[in-house]
Amino acid sequence: MKTEVEKKYILFCPGPEYLFWAGGYYLAWELSRTYRVVLVTDHPFNDQERVRSLIRDGILEDFIPFIPHKETILGIRKAYFKHKYFKHLADNIFCKYKFAAIIQHTDLGPPNMYLFKRAKSENIIRILYRPSAVPRDYYNDYVITKNLLINHLRNDLGISYLIASALFYSRQFFGYYFNFWLIPFMLTGRIFKPRIGSIIRKTNFLNKNRGDFDFVIIYSERDKKLSDANGEKSIVVKNPLYVFGNEANDYLLKGIEEKNKILILPTSGEVEMFMKNNNEYSIDKVEYYASKWVEALKILQGKFPKFEICIKYYPSSSSELLFDKAMSFLTSSNLGIKVIDRHESAEKLIVESRVIVGSFTSALWWASELPNAKTVISLDLWRVSGGDKFSDVGDICYFRSLGELSEFNFTTSCFANKYTANVPTMTDFLIEHSQSQSPVSG
């Protein structure tokens, strides 16, 4: 391990708070052994004191949180000040620290473009990293997210799906030119040219613009094939969660032990997607959706006798009426299901559970990447768009029917060999390329 004097700096922007604790934290843990990690956020972090404790214990060198301005009706003032903040940050942070590399979760947000563009001018290695499983189809993944956001608008504003859709598309279209053309031109005299257009299309989802990065880093050969097929040439490194997960979790979670527990992690927007696919919003459909969960859990109770069953909802699902009705039906089914506070750490619950069950929540991928193998189950019983997200992820047991689930023998392993011997860690990759790489011009 290098001495503190010898360590170089890494600028790390991991995305939203939940994404930091689910993935970025483990990458910071790995990098801290060789580098000084400066954490920059492009989303507000609620528990900043928890992050600052990582500075005290030497995992982070510095923490620069983003604090947004107050929301306005159209969000114009808020967006302008966010641009101005990151333009100023990019102008100053590269003077304060001599970075060996910059690692960000995306290149498609204006904050990230300011930082990547400045890094390019300083001839610093720019890395785009994927902290979760790569979707098989980028456009389809966008459609799933779009539908979830439209449903949130519909529920929050009490408007029809048609009006919510019109509002979503209007925001997306005008927001594109506001965020990538108008404000950057006002602040820098140039417009931004992201790899997506103002209208997202199935064909040519990513346009011909060159991203402001040198490398795309992912965590498996499966993800590399998908990334390459979608026009992003990528490099595989070992997932730091898999390599350092035990010691990092011992520090973060302190004293958590695995128990005979089945943890259910439902996807909050799935019931609405199921209703939309069936063109009917009725209590009968809600109960049918929930009844599939009931039958699946009865099967799992038979396969894992005397295991406690717990269910944890995603925090934002608190305002979704249909989801709440479905979960009420499920938890009243006399299966002895314990409801966990929705704000409890999903990572903590996963680490202490032996069986994790969901549909297509990214938490399943996280659970499958832990160094201590768990039984991770993806249920695609409702045939919604994206339900097959984990059908080809080696360490996740995927089922399209209750019959398949009933017949499966969980005493046989569905775990794959994670890595071949020649796959580097992120640290190995950085050391190699900081010594020999001439950054690709963007």
284/199 same-domain check: no
204/277 same-domain check: no
* 329 belongs to a structural domain: yes
284/369 same-domain check: yes
| Torsion region of 123: left, alpha or beta (phi above 0 gives left; psi -120 to 50 gives alpha) | left
347/225 same-domain check: no
Per the structure, the complete domain to which residue 360 belongs is given by: 257-407
Q: Report the number of distinct structural domains present in the chain.
A: 2
**Shortest CA distance to 124 belongs to which of 103, 155, 147, 96?**
103
* 421 belongs to a structural domain: no
pLDDT attached to residue 318: 44
90/223 same-domain check: yes
* 280 belongs to a structural domain: yes
CATH number of the domain where residue 164 is located: 3.40.50.720
Average pLDDT across each block of 10 residues of the chain; the chain has 442 residues. List them in order: 71 96 96 97 96 97 92 79 97 96 96 97 95 85 85 85 93 94 97 90 77 93 89 92 95 92 90 73 79 96 96 69 83 89 91 96 94 94 89 91 95 69 93 66 38
Q: pTM to 2 decimals?
A: 0.90
402/332 same-domain check: yes
16/164 same-domain check: yes
353/215 same-domain check: no
**Shortest CA distance to 93 belongs to which of 121, 125, 126, 118?**
118
37/155 same-domain check: yes
CATH number of the domain where residue 298 is located: 3.40.50.2000
Cα dihedral: 218, 224, 226, 230 (round 10): 80
* 332 belongs to a structural domain: yes
180/272 same-domain check: no
141/288 same-domain check: no
* 170 belongs to a structural domain: yes
263/224 same-domain check: no
